[in-house]
Amino acid sequence: MREAEKAKGSITLTSGIYAARPAQGASTLAAINSAIEGLVRGLAVELAPIRVNVVSPVLVDTPIYSTMDAGTREGMFQTVAQSLLVKHVAQPEEIAEAYVYLANNTFTTGSTIQIEGGAMLS
């Protein structure tokens, strides 16, 4: 068996919604997220047959926001939730399902999976 046929696996990186839908004042984040998505496409070509993909979520309710004042945090979450078609902020388990999908699906590579609650349509 050739070496390339032995290589298997999956690499999944994380970007964010700003790659596709930049917000006012977030041009740096938009550039970083766009660069990650471009890197994933290039790595998918270079590392094949290892699969390389990216998950691009919108705001997720994680402990990273725990240092914010509770009222400010909840206000931000409510504002974002009302702007989304699904009317709630993402929970970590909802985003994790995309990583599991990409790890298990052997035919997906070079793809960006947007987990954004309808933000692209609202």
Q: What is the pLDDT along the chain (122 residues), one digit of tens a residue?
A: 455 555 689 999 999 999 999 999 999 999 999 999 999 999 999 999 999 999 999 999 999 999 999 999 999 999 999 999 999 999 999 999 999 999 999 999 999 999 999 999 98
The whole-number pLDDT of residue 5 equals 54
The whole-number pLDDT of residue 3 equals 57
The whole-number pLDDT of residue 1 equals 43
Which domains does the chain carry? 3-115 (3.40.50.720)
The whole-number pLDDT of residue 122 equals 85
The whole-number pLDDT of residue 57 equals 97
The whole-number pLDDT of residue 6 equals 55
Q: Is 73 exposed, middle or buried (0-12, 13-18, 19+ CB in 10 A)?
A: middle
Token reading at 115: 């987990």
Give every strand in the sheet of 51-57, ordered side by side.
10-14, 51-57, 112-115
Catalytic one of 10, 15, 34, 122: 15
Active site residue 15: yes
For residues 20 and 13, give the distance between their C-alpha atoms in angstroms, rounded to a whole number. Answer: 16
